Amino acid sequence: MKYGQFMMPSHPPERKMYDAIAQDLKEIEWLDALGYSEVWIGEHLTAPWEPLPAGDLLISQALARTKQIKVCSGGYIPSFYHPAALALRICQLDHMAQGRYICGIAAGSQPPDWALTNLDGFKGENRDAAYEAVEIMIKLWTEHVDQLWEFEGEHWTVKNIGPVGSFRSHIEPFQKPHPPLAIAGLSPGSGSLAYAGANGFIPLSVFFNADVLRSHWQVYSDAAYAAGLEPDRAQWRVNREIFVGETDQEARDYVRKSNNQIRVWMENNFPLLKDFDWIGNLKHDPAVPDDDVDIDYLMEHLWIVGSPDTVVEKINNLSDEVGGFGYLLGTHFDWGTATDPFAYEDEFRLNLELLAKEVMPRIGVGSGSSAVVAESPAP
């Protein structure tokens, strides 16, 4: 099993943007030095707890400060851009990365973002716009400059008219035929992951319980088989809240004292999930009352928090429950205080070191668990 970090990035609303970015870049440098495979950078327009609206600006700086880690979009929300401009922007980033880049795409889940970009997400317009944008981008990436074409969709019309004097569509990606594409899924039976499966894109599942994760793989693999493709669990990315301490008590104490992980759940995640009636997606047992799903419950049943031994056991159990996956992505949380953005630097770096050196080398070893299991095609 490979491992990486998922960075929305999350910071408290009072954090100055400059300080937030400085913290993110320092963390990415650590991840690179510790041998993490990849880091994913998100973007939002109206999320105070995920305050960066242009993830690729952070990616471009991170690429210059690292040597081996893949720095990935996690993900672009196409409705924030014109797809032709986005396709060429991604080409530039792909050349800057020289193979250290994966392009994640997300439909976007924030109603205020939908309003700013004039989409009705409750009717699925955000997903339709994202899929349409991907089709346009792939055409721009793969069709030769002398191929004249026009795409007329519901949201955009794009034309490649060929050379006009010395001007023409001429930019191609560094990776061929284009950067690997990944699609993030959130809801049970995610339509976005079915779309990913049908098109052979990388699936990325966000932090819900094993039942939701199993539904993600089911719709992804079903769609892949229906399209004549072979789904590969080794490409499946699963995101989890992870913190490793030298003992169980030290790990739990850090999560409590650092405060930001708890704050983002209390101020952002719990209210949002309650509004969407999604608290059930956090439960290990549907019979658990909603009111019992609190921080202590998450620490016990959903988050992966503890000593190296405990974290190894929890990761192996999760792998067994969902049938295996190829990449585990821990969730980044701000590790500062209101007055000092680097207050818990030593504790957070130790967590990353313990995961890299004492946890991941033991995953699936002598436990009966494996990160990826073989499976037969759907009948």
What's the residue count for the chain?
379
How high is the pLDDT of residue 3?
Answer: 97
The arithmetic mean of pLDDT across residues 22-29, rounded, is 98
157, exposed or middle or buried, with CB in 10 Å at 0-12, 13-18, 19+? exposed
Q: Can you tell me the distance from the alpha carbon of 59 to that of 290, in angstroms, rounded to the nearest whole number?
A: 38
pLDDT at 367 over 80: no
Q: What is the pLDDT of residues 260-286, one digit of tens each?
A: 999 999 999 999 999 989 999 999 999
* Single pTM value for the model: 0.94
For residue 361, the 8-state DSSP code is G
Task: For residue 5, give the nearest of 34, 32, 39, 35 by alpha carbon.
Answer: 39
The arithmetic mean of pLDDT across residues 331-342, rounded, is 95
Report the percentage of the chain scoring pLDDT > 70: 95
> Which segments within 272-361 are labelled E, that is strand?
304-306, 327-331
Q: Where are the alpha helices (DSSP H) in the chain?
A: 17-33, 55-65, 83-97, 111-116, 125-142, 191-199, 210-226, 248-258, 260-264, 270-275, 295-301, 308-322, 345-354
Report the percentage of the chain scoring pLDDT > 90: 80
Q: Does the domain at residues 2-254+303-362 carry the CATH identifier 3.20.20.30?
A: yes
Number of H helices, E strands in the chain: 13, 12
Label residue 370 by pLDDT band (50, 70, 90): low
**Domain segments of the chain: what residues?**
2-254+303-362
Cβ-proximal residues to 138 (8 Å cutoff; 6+ apart), any chain: 178
Chain mean pLDDT for the chain: 93
How high is the pLDDT of residue 373?
Answer: 54
Q: What is the pLDDT of residues 38-93, one digit of tens each?
A: 999 999 999 999 999 999 999 999 999 999 999 999 989 998 999 999 999 999 99
Q: What is the pLDDT of residues 178-209, one digit of tens each?
A: 999 999 998 899 999 999 999 999 999 998 99
pLDDT at 378 over 50: no
More confident of the two residues 222 and 110: 222
pLDDT at 237 over 80: yes
